Amino acid sequence: REARAAAAREAERKKAEVHAAFGTKGLERRGSMPNKMVWRVNSPSGLTGNVAHEYRVKDKLTGTRGVSFVMGQSVEQQEEIVQCVLFDQDVFDEHKAALWWQENEHRFAAQQRKNAAAAAAAAAMHQGKPAAAALAAAGRALSSASLAALPAVNRADKQLGGAQNIPPSAPISEMPGGLKRTPSAMLKSS
C-alpha cells in the first residue's frame, strides 16, 4: 500500500516537472517524425521559412545521445538558429526531456528574445504599424544589431508612409512604448 502511494507521489512529481518545463502545451509529436518528441524553441514567424536553410544537427555542446536540433534562418539577422529540439523516444521519455530542457534552456534564451522581437516587428509591419514602434512595443531587450538597424527601419517606415522618425542616437526610453531596460552602451549615430 505504501509502495503504491510512493509510486503515485513520484508520478505526480514527474508530471509537475514536465509541466514546469513545457507548460500546458507540452511536447509535440508529428507524423513526419514518428520516433521524435518536438519542443519548439523559436516561433516560426521569426524564421524565414526557407527550407534550403533547414537542417538537423546533433547537440555537440553536451553530446547527449538522443538530442538533436532543427535549425532555421532568422528573419532578423539571417543567421542560423535553433528552431526545435528533437528528443528521440528510444532514449528520452517526457520527464527525461523536461530535465534536459531545464538544464539547457539558458542556452537558447538570447535567441528566443531576438526571435520574439523580430516576430513582433514582422507582425506589426504586416498590420501596417511602423517597425521601430513594433520593436519598442515588443518590450524585449534588443541586440546591438537591432539598434544599429533603426536608421534603415526609419527610412523603410517613411517609404511605407509611416510617420516614425527616431534618431539613431535616441535612448530607447524615448521610443514609442519605451522599453524598461536600456543597453549599457548606446550606439553612436552611423
Q: Which pLDDT tens digit goes with each residue over 62-111?
A: 899 999 999 988 877 778 889 899 999 999 999 999 999 999 998 888 77
Query: What pLDDT sits at residue 184?
Result: 36
Q: Which grid coordinates are listed for 23?
A: 507548460
Can you tell me whether residue 43 is helix, strand or coil?
Answer: coil
State phi, psi for 113 to the nearest 5 degrees. Answer: -65, -45
What is d(CA 12, CA 129) in angstroms, rounded to the nearest whole number?
Answer: 46
Q: What is the pLDDT of residue 167?
A: 42
Ordered strands of the 80-88 beta sheet? 28-30, 33-40, 80-88, 67-73, 55-58
pTM equals 0.59
Query: Which band of pLDDT confidence, cut at 50, 70 and 90, is reported for residue 156?
Result: very low
